[in-house]
Amino acid sequence: MRRSKNTGISLFNVLVSIFITAGVLVFFVYNIIHVNALAVEINNNKIELNKQVSSNNTLQTEIERLSTYDNIKPVAIDKLKMVNISNKTKSIIIKKSDLESNK
């Protein structure tokens, strides 16, 4: 009679399995840590973006406030010696018949 071989799990195969499992776990933990660091960076960028948008809106409001006629008029008259023109609009009416007669 033949003797059956005992094909148990060898110590080498167990150690290789443990090292492969440890390598995969280290890879996943590194990825999780890296993703969390990127999430923090994205959050910081969003906060900075919101600050910049708020600052931009504040500056735009200030530009609109300072660009009004009431703020520009004193500077134009006093510093630049410009003359204030009356607010009356002048209209020029040309009859179509006058244009045709000049041709």
- Rg of the chain in Å (alpha carbons): 41
Give the CB-side neighbour count of residue 10, counting CA atoms within 13 A.
Answer: 4
**Cα–Cα distances in Å, from 83 out to 3, 73, 87, 90?**
120, 10, 12, 18
Provide the residue-wise pLDDT of the chain in tens; the chain has 103 residues: 566 566 678 899 999 999 999 999 999 999 999 999 999 999 999 999 999 999 999 999 999 988 888 888 888 888 888 887 766 677 788 888 877 776 6
Instruction: Compute, in degrees rounded to 10, the torsion defined by CA atoms 38, 44, 49, 51.
Output: 180
Cβ contact 85:79 at 8 Å: no
